[in-house]
Structure 1
Amino acid sequence: MDIRYEAQYHLLEEKHWWFEGRRDFVFSLVQQLGLAPTASILEIGCSGGPLMLRMRDKGFSNLTGIDISPRAIALAQQRGLPSTSVMDAAHLDFEDEKFDLIIASDVLEHIEDEAQALREWHRVLKPGGRLLVFVPAFPVLWSQHDVVNHHFRRYTRETLLAALRTSAFGVSRSSYWNGALFAPALLVRSLQRLLQPSKAQSQATNASGDLAALPKPLNSTLLGLLRLENAVLNRLNFPVGMSVFAVAHKPSCPAA
């Protein structure tokens, strides 16, 4: 992630509609797993720790967080989360079969060796342990935002499932998330490529991405839209969206 973008990210991650709406849905998925409060949970890419703080407030007591950014981990520790550390998500410094749940939101696309990361995540999960993974969706939506964030790829539901299954994960659910904004985003991306092809090379030096503070009424409106979608998504899957997620698991017994 561009260091200028990261500073803005940490200022906005607690109240920005996108992050708050996604945390709402991630937490709802965690609740649906029916884990004990003492379950060992690892958040990969914990940033400044807003999801960990929420989970702790809801009674989860065995939380660990890692992030590649020293600035993010310093912020998490300032917020009262001592079990956080700087670590490479593709090379975990944990023993085998340590965690009941791994949460990785917008992490996998940052890692060039996707297979290595998934092998590591599989290794540190207990048999029967779960993985909640979110990634940005659809290569056709590739934009300056991806460049600034140092993404290697965007995913479809099929490519995410293929990567998980190749790494010996089973998958119990997968869907797109944030479907209402897919069509507007696709239109904007298409127009950008059509009308501004000469600016493609300059995008890498622009650290603005798509992240910006919005007026409170607009931020609240977009958050309300996401929360409405989240409620629907708890009952059915979406055919398109800005992100794609999967609920995966490490089999309890090795495959024959």
Structure 2
Amino acid sequence: MDVKEEDILGESVYGHWYYVSKGNVIRHLLKPVAGKSVLDVGAGSGVFSKSLMNHDLVENARCVDTAYEVDEKLESYKGKCIRFVRSVKSADESLVLMIDVLEHVEDDLVVLKYYSDQIPSGGHVLISVPAFNFLWSGHDVFLEHKRRYTLAKLERLVNSAGLEVVKGRYFFGFLFPVVAVIRLIKRALLNAGQLSAKSDLTKSNNFVNFLLIAVHVIELKVLFSVNRIVGLTAFCLAKKP
């Protein structure tokens, strides 16, 4: 996840519509393949690992992030163990999360292979990335993104890493038209020097937050299963042969 956005939202990240909705998608995709443990790459505070634990989809988690201040720290979360580590040299977890990670690295294939090569055969990797380069704006500049992806590009990357695509879909499709217009306007203003780069994600009042969560619950139920056309985020669930 984007650490800069977590810093902006603070503790409200756990109830913010964006992270709640993304967590709903993650659990939806992983429910058929959930296992005992998860390796959460670029995990930040472990928002999504904790979401999986809350719904009994995993029993323990290892969260890795170079932003951590110490090499290793153990935390008990609702009677379950989370290990926070700065790096990983080997992995036996059957499930890897790479949520909003690959867009931050220079060589996304090298990073994806590094983790996918370590997991056992039959293990799964779930990836999410920001979608469509034409949406590039100060939001991406602020978050230090290197690129955005189409679903086809993400799936080619997955195949190049030696993984098999199980399912690829776009999400946040209902918001796409509005956000696309806003991003294009902001990019023009940024290029003209009339706007500074910053994240588009902000704290929401309770009513707006509730409404957006409800909208995306509906999207998950009625659109997600067939949406390979448009969205703000691309998801890919992959399996190691």
Same fold (TM over 0.5): yes
Structure holding more helix per residue: 1
How far did residue 8 of structure 1 move? 1.4
Residue 250 in structure 1 maps to residue 240 in structure 2:
yes
Q: Sort the Cα spacing of 1:162 and 1:19 in 2 relative to 1 into closer, same or farther, 3 A.
A: same
| Structure 2 residue identity aligned to 1:118 | L
Structure 1, residues 69-91: CA drift from partner, whole Å, max 9, x if none?
A: 22699999486775322325xxx
AA at the equivalent of 2:90: F
Which residue type is aligned with residue 19 of structure 1?
A: Y
C-alpha displacement at 1:48, in angstroms? Answer: 1.3
1:29 corresponds in structure 2 to 29
Distance across 2 between alignment mates of 1:117 and 1:74: 21
Structure 2 match to 1:125 = 119
Q: Is 1:241 the counterpart of 2:225 in the alignment?
A: no
Structure 2 residue matching 1:127: 3-state secondary structure? coil
Deviation for aligned residue 1:171: 0.4
Q: Which runs of 5+ in 2 are unaligned?
A: none
CA contact (8 A) 1:87 1:93 kept: no
**Aligned-partner SS, 1:70:** coil
Q: Measure how far apart 1:196 and its partner are.
A: 5.0
* Cα RMSD for the two superposed structures: 2.7
Q: Structure 1 residues 241 and 135 mapped into 2: Cα distance closer, same or farther (>3 Å)?
A: same
Instruction: Assess if the C-alpha contact under 8 Å between 1:47 and 1:72 holds in 2.
Output: no
What is the identity percentage for the equivalent residue pairs of Structure 1 and Structure 2? 27
Go from structure 1 to structure 2 and tell me whether the alpha carbon gap of 1:23 and 1:74 turns closer, same or farther (over 3 Å shift). Answer: farther
Query: Which residue matches 1:254?
Result: none
User: In structure 2, the residue corresponding to 1:188 is in which secondary structure?
Assistant: helix
Task: Give a deviation string over 1:115-172, Cα, whole Å, max 9, x none.
Answer: 2111112212110111110000001111111111111110011111111111111102
User: Which runs of no fewer than 5 residues in structure 1 stay unpaired?
Assistant: 252-256
How does the TM-score come out when normalised to structure 1?
A: 0.83
Q: Does the CA-based 8 Å contact 1:48-1:76 persist in structure 2? A: no
Counterpart AA for 1:247: L
CA contact (8 A) 2:41 2:97 kept: yes
Which residue is equivalent to 2:147? 153
Q: Which residue of 2 aligns with 1:58?
A: 55
Change (3 A) 1:112 1:195: closer
- Three-state SS of the structure 1 residue aligned to 2:110 is helix
* 2:42 alignment partner in structure 1: 45
Superposition pairs for residues 1-256 of structure 1, below 5 Å?
6-33=6-33, 35-36=34-35, 39-59=36-56, 60-70=58-68, 77=75, 83-88=82-87, 92-95=88-91, 98-199=92-193, 203-204=196-197, 208-233=198-223, 235-251=225-241
Q: Report deviation, 1:7.
A: 2.1
Q: 1:7 to 1:115 in 2, by over 3 A?
A: same
Letter paired with 2:60: N
1:32-73 residue CA offsets vs partner (Å, 9 max, x unmatched): 22x34xx23211122212322232233321322212222699
Q: Is the 8 A contact 1:73 1:84 kept in 2?
A: no
Quote the Cα distance in structure 2 between the aligned partners of 1:217 and 1:74.
39
Is the 2:60–2:82 Cα contact (8 Å) retained in structure 1? Answer: no
Distance 1:234 1:4, change over 3 A: closer
SS in 1 for 2:237: strand
Q: Measure how far apart 1:192 and its partner are.
A: 2.5
